[in-house]
């Protein structure tokens, strides 16, 4: 066990029972010319998370942690896309339509895939999720339980949407979550800040927050040999 200097108080991390989960670092959300940018968002507000995420990912891999990636997206026949989600926002281009990088948030288009900087290594599970939360309509819970994982280090985009929903779902299922604050981001900086504060408020109502620099030393727990699980 290793203590992470976190808010609202230190978290005892057991790297043998912890996983890193990277939420929706997909080209359509992060790349100039993708769906997010086409909607008028400033993707640079998400892109500053890439470097710290890469560092956290590299250290988690070196420490032999389970690393899980998620992608938000739908079946090509859109059978899992609720009409309410398709209609949401009355956007000029809707989910499932042809977008700048293939069909928007459909599990085939280039935009749906994970950015090259954080691309999964062979053997790292990818959870394709139709919703905001990574537990909804996926096998994530089974995967974690079968590996004996009880603690999640969470990063990705966006803080107040898919990161938040996943942390809330995980909390309800009994997982301890720490969000790596500098490895999560939002198109709305104020939502990022408030989103983090909401997690740690009220004695850590949904979990913990900590900078990645305070999480990384806990991964390299003395005596841990590393290697893939």
Q: Which residues bind ligand C5J (CB under 6 A)?
A: 24, 72, 157-158, 161-162
Here the tokens at position 110 are: 């280039």
Q: Which is nearer to ligand C5J, 63 or 134 (CB)?
A: 134
CB atoms within 10 A of CB 91: 14
The catalytic residues are 24, 129, 162
Residue 102's region, left for phi above 0, alpha for psi from -120 to 50, else beta, is left
Token look-up 């490895």 returns: 183
CB of residue 162 to ligand C5J, shortest distance in Å = 3
Quote the least distance from Cβ 158 to ligand C5J, whole Å: 4
CB of 208 vs ligand C5J, minimal distance in Å: 20
Q: Which one, 4 or 57, has the nearer CB to ligand C5J?
A: 57
In the numeric block, the tokens 């066990």 are attached to 1
Taking the least distance from each CB to ligand C5J, the nearer of 7 and 28 is: 28
CA 14 to centroid of chain Cα atoms: 20
Closest CB to ligand C5J among 15 and 195?
195
Q: For the chain, what's the residue count?
A: 229
What span, in angstroms and rounded, lies between the C-alpha atoms of 91 and 108? 21
Instruction: State how far the Cα of 175 lies from the Cα of 20, in Å rounded to an integer.
Output: 12
Q: Are strands 126-129 and 102-103 parallel, antiparallel or unpaired?
A: unpaired
Calpha distance 137→153 (Å, rounded):
21
Q: Give the residue with the Cβ less far from ligand C5J, 4 or 184.
A: 184
User: Shortest distance, CB of residue 83 to ligand C5J, whole angstroms?
Assistant: 16
Tokens of 144: 């974690």
Q: Alpha-carbon distance 111 to 209, whole Å?
A: 29
Minimum distance from CB of 82 to ligand C5J (Å)? Answer: 13
């Amino acid at each position: 066990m290793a203590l992470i200097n976190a808010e609202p108080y230190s978290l005892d991390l057991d790297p043998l029972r912890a996983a890193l989960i990277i939420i929706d670092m997909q080209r359509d959300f992060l790349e100039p010319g993708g769906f997010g940018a086409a909607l008028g968002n400033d993707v640079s507000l998400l892109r500053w998370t890439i470097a710290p995420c890469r560092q956290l990912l590299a250290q988690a891999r070196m420490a032999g942690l389970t690393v899980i990636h998620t992608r938000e997206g739908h079946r090509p026949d859109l059978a899992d896309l609720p009409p309410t989600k398709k209609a949401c926002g009355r956007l000029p281009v809707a989910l499932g339509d042809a977008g700048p990088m293939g069909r928007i948030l459909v599990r085939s288009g280039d935009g749906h895939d994970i950015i090259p900087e954080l691309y999964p290594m062979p053997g790292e599970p990818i959870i394709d999720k139709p919703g905001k939360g990574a537990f909804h309509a996926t096998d994530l819970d089974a995967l974690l339980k079968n590996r004996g994982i009880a603690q999640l280090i969470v990063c990705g985009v966006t803080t107040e949407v898919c990161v938040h929903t996943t942390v809330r779902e995980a909390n309800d299922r009994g997982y301890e979550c720490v969000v790596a604050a500098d490895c999560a981001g939002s198109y709305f900086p104020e939502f990022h800040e408030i989103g983090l504060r909401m997690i740690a408020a009220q004695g850590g109502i949904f979990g913990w927050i900590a900078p990645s620099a305070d999480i990384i030393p806990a991964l390299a727990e003395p005596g841990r040999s590393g290697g893939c699980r």
